[in-house]
């Protein structure tokens, strides 16, 4: 949904699928156009009536023949993001098929960023995101928040549909702006997308065909031998709460024993490894099995209520989850369907999504029968917070101080004194923790890595704040 002159990630994602791949071999699956045409006729037309045109053929070949691996990754992410999309689509009274639009926009990558600055699952430019109520600061970017960005996308799509009273035109306006669509309507003297498409920018002409191709791929992938790359259960079975007080990812790692990279990827909108204080609240998403420990901790800190419990139970994708966090932490069980039950009612009862039930049981539809056996997965145990177990002292940097540090650090990259126990080193150019440890007298490399929750000696980005124990302070972590 961005102006044509200011954003083009959709075109990049689509063209990367659409373009010819060099590795096509004699083992390439058969692409039967007549069969595909027949299947297109069976697809839902609640958003766009499917039709087989040259552009649709090109995108379908990209998904089904040339770039199958990418298609399988996208399919794996649907079990994570489609429950979120379906929730907000239903809340706003919009067609369920609109969830396929995010496949076109970002290939279901929450931190996808175009070369012109469009970002997130729904690819908002900064100005557009702010106009839709998404905050973008030095500490966080809500365009990368799966929940808040999806709500914003629903509002914008609803606005475009009310403006044009046609979903094909609304999608075109999402891509290139309502002004261009109005001018095309005027020049073409029609409100039929297919009749006025020649008056639209090329990527907008291809936008609706790309939507049709995504719809087909997601409904008929099995017939083409595509196997979804699903993430680990620890990433699928998650819970989201809303918190209002500042907390660092390092503290969350202490409470949950999760790797920092998992926490960071589950919460992609935060740039500095911490969730800042906010009266409106921020979402925190974690594997459901460890969320009780965080809730216990928050209640112990603020008995009057420091969070909204169970805002949403839905997963967020991790590109490469840690190998040790696998299905070993979950129990496989069998659920016997009772008479009158639906897949939706069972999902609600056991606290998972319909998408998960379908995936675990390889179901193509939501149709089930009494006495049918369904596979379910549950955590073996839920982690709890033990107040009597001492935690390492972690001083949160005040939000105001962080703002000041941006200016102080740029002018003076030396150690900055905040709080009684720690100093903070402001990184002004790419350098590794080992180099920082060597540069600062009295700093131990191993303790520096432990204090900041790092596992590898990787270069740090400019603007990173490195926590350093004050020289002479012998308190253990």
**pLDDT of 160 above 90:** yes
CATH number for the domain harbouring residue 137: 1.10.530.10
Do 100 and 191 fall into the same domain?
yes
Q: Is 390 within a domain? A: no
Mean pLDDT of 103-119: 91
Residue 148 near residue 110, CB atoms below 8 Å: no
Do 248 and 210 fall into the same domain?
no
Q: Is 78 within a domain? A: yes
pLDDT at 85: 95
Q: For the purposes of burial, counting CB atoms within 10 Å of the CB of 185, is it exposed (0-12), middle (13-18) or buried (19 or more)?
A: buried
For residue 283, give its domain range.
Answer: 233-312
Residue 236 near residue 315, CB atoms below 8 Å: yes
Instruction: Give CA–CA dist 275/267, Å, rounded.
Output: 9
What phi and psi, each to the nearest 5 degrees, are found at residue 346?
A: -70, -40
**pLDDT of 168 above 90:** yes
Do 302 and 340 fall into the same domain?
no
Residue 441 near residue 474, CB atoms below 8 Å: no
CA-based radius of gyration for the chain: 25
User: What percentage of the chain reaches a pLDDT higher than 90?
Assistant: 41
Is 105 among the residues known to form the active site? yes
Element (H, E) at 168: helix 167-176
Q: Which residues partner with 152 through β-bridges? A: none
pLDDT at 421: 52
More confident residue, 331 or 306: 331
Q: For the purposes of burial, counting CB atoms within 10 Å of the CB of 238, is it exposed (0-12), middle (13-18) or buried (19 or more)?
A: buried
More confident residue, 240 or 396: 240
Instruction: Give CA–CA dist 88/109, Å, rounded.
Output: 18
Do 197 and 90 fall into the same domain?
yes
* Chain mean pLDDT for the chain: 81
pLDDT at 315: 46
Q: Which residue among 105, 142, 239, 261 is the active-site one?
A: 105
Mean pLDDT of 186-202: 95
What phi and psi, each to the nearest 5 degrees, are found at residue 16?
A: -65, -30
The strand ranges marked E within 138-262 are 238-243, 247-248
Domain end point (choices 195, 224, 253): 224
**What total number of domains does the chain contain?**
4
Do 110 and 149 fall into the same domain?
yes
Q: Is 384 within a domain? A: no
Q: Is 389 within a domain? A: no
Mean pLDDT of 17-31: 51
Do 133 and 282 fall into the same domain?
no
Q: Is 434 within a domain? A: yes
Chain CA centroid to CA 134, Å: 15
* DSSP-derived secondary structure letter, 289: T
pLDDT at 304: 59
pLDDT digits (tens, 9 = 90+) for 402-438: 444 444 443 334 455 444 455 667 777 788 888 888 8
Please state which of the ranges 38-47, 243-252, 345-354 shows the lowest mean pLDDT: 345-354
Do 219 and 242 fall into the same domain?
no
Instruction: Give CA–CA dist 322/299, Å, rounded.
Output: 29
Chain CA centroid to CA 141, Å: 12
Instruction: Give CA–CA dist 209/203, Å, rounded.
Output: 10
Domain end point (choices 287, 312, 337): 312
Residue 345 near residue 357, CB atoms below 8 Å: no
Element (H, E) at 373: strand 373-379
Do 207 and 263 fall into the same domain?
no
Do 349 and 455 fall into the same domain?
no
Task: With CA atoms as reference, report the closest residue to 80 among 357, 261, 317.
Answer: 317
Residue 231 near residue 88, CB atoms below 8 Å: no
Instruction: Give CA–CA dist 301/243, Å, rounded.
Output: 12
CATH number for the domain harbouring residue 369: 3.10.350.10
Do 241 and 259 fall into the same domain?
yes
Domain end point (choices 196, 224, 252): 224
Q: Is 317 within a domain? A: no
Q: Is 1 within a domain? A: no
Do 121 and 208 fall into the same domain?
yes
**pLDDT of 342 above 70:** yes
Do 408 and 358 fall into the same domain?
no
pLDDT digits (tens, 9 = 90+) for 264-321: 888 999 988 889 988 888 999 999 899 999 998 888 776 655 677 666 655 444 444 4
Measured CA to CA in angstroms, residue 294 lies from 224, 249, 267, 378, 402 at distances of 43, 11, 15, 19, 24
Mean pLDDT of 171-199: 95
Q: Is 476 within a domain? A: no
């Amino acid at each position: 949904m961005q102006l044509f002159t200011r954003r083009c990630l959709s075109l990049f994602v689509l063209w990367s699928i659409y373009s010819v791949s060099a590795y096509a071999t004699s083992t390439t699956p058969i692409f039967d156009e007549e069969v595909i045409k027949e299947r297109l006729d069976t697809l839902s037309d609640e958003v766009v009536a499917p039709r087989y045109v040259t552009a649709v053929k090109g995108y379908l070949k990209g998904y089904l023949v040339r770039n199958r691996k990418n298609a399988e990754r996208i399919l794996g992410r649907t079990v994570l993001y489609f429950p979120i999309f379906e929730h907000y689509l239903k809340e706003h009274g919009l067609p369920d098929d609109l969830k396929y639009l995010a496949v076109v926009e970002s290939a279901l990558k929450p931190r996808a960023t175009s070369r012109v600055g469009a970002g997130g699952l729904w690819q908002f430019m900064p100005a557009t995101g702010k106009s839709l109520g998404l905050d973008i600061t030095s500490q966080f970017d809500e365009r990368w928040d799966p929940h808040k960005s999806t709500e914003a996308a629903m509002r914008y799509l609803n606005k475009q549909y009310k403006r044009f009273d046609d979903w094909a035109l609304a999608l075109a306006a999402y891509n290139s702006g309502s002004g261009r669509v109005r001018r095309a309507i005027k020049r073409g003297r029609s409100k039929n997308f297919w009749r006025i498409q020649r008056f639209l920018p090329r990527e907008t002409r291809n936008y609706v065909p790309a939507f049709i191709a995504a719809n087909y791929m997601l409904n008929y992938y099995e017939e083409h031998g595509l196997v979804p790359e699903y993430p680990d259960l620890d990433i699928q079975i998650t819970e989201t709460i809303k918190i209002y007080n500042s907390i660092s990812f390092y503290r969350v790692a202490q409470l949950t024993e999760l790797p920092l990279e998992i926490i960071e990827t589950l919460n992609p909108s935060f740039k500095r490894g911490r969730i800042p204080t906010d009266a409106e609240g921020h979402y925190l998403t974690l594997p459901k099995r460890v969320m009780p420990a965080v809730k216990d901790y928050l209640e112990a800190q603020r008995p009057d209520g420091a969070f909204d419990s169970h805002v949403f139970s839905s997963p967020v994708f991790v590109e490469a989850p840690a190998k040790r966090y696998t299905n070993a932490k979950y129990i496989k069980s069998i659920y016997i369907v009772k008479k009158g039950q639906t897949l939706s009612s069972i999902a609600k009862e056991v606290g998972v999504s319909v998408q998960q039930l379908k995936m675990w049981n390889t179901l193509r539809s939501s149709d089930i029968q009494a006495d049918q056996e369904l596979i379910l997965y549950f955590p073996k145990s839920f982690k709890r917070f033990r107040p009597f177990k001492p935690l390492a002292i972690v001083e949160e940097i005040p939000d105001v101080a962080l703002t000041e540090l941006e200016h102080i650090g740029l002018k003076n990259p030396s150690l900055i004194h905040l709080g009684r126990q720690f100093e903070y080193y402001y990184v002004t150019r790419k350098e590794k923790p080992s180099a920082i440890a060597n540069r600062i007298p009295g700093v131990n490399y191993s303790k520096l890595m432990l204090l900041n929750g790092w596992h590898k000696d990787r270069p740090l980005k400019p603007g990173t704040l490195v926590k350093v124990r004050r020289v002479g302070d012998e308190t253990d972590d």
